[in-house]
Amino acid sequence: FTPNKDVLLYVTAPWCGHCKKLDPECQKLGEKIQSDRLDDLITIAKIDGVANDSPLDSLEWTSFPTLWYIKAGQSAPMVFEGERTAKALWKFIRKHATKADEIIERIDRLSRQRAEEL
């Protein structure tokens, strides 16, 4: 994957109802990552698991949606099995992020900046 960014890989199928319910949650998560200026540390990648092969030999899927978290510079994925909401995904990312301390620091700094702008 990438040596500098963590990746949340979201494997979908066009006919999957659960995937369609998860799409807006992943969209919310992506918007949060961008608004918190963390997109240089975290990427959300969506792949059609029916039309595409796995990008890594270590990833195989048998159901949809499937969510994996791959830390920067690593190829061993972690399976996400929690609640499929933006909030739960964000909590998982903050817990497992390669640069968790930097994420927290940036969010705190950005919160202070936004408060000063008011």
62-72 pLDDT per residue, tens: 889 999 999 99
pLDDT in tens, 9-62: 999 999 999 999 999 999 999 999 999 999 999 999 999 998 987 877 778 888
**Tally of residues, the chain:** 118
Q: How confident is the model at residue 114 (pLDDT cuts 50, 70, 90)?
A: confident
Percent of the chain past pLDDT 70, that is, above it, reads 99
Average pLDDT, the chain: 91
**Sign of the alpha-carbon torsion through 5, 66, 15, 88:** negative
Residue 91: predicted pLDDT: 95
Looking at residue 53, its pLDDT comes to 79
Name the helix (H) or strand (E) containing 7.
strand 6-12
Q: How far apart are CA 104 and CA 112, in angstroms?
A: 12
The C-alpha atoms of residue 50 and residue 32 are separated, in whole angstroms, by 28
| 101: confidence class by pLDDT, cuts 50, 70, 90 | very high
Strand partners for 98: none
Domains and CATH numbers, the chain: 6-117 (3.40.30.10)
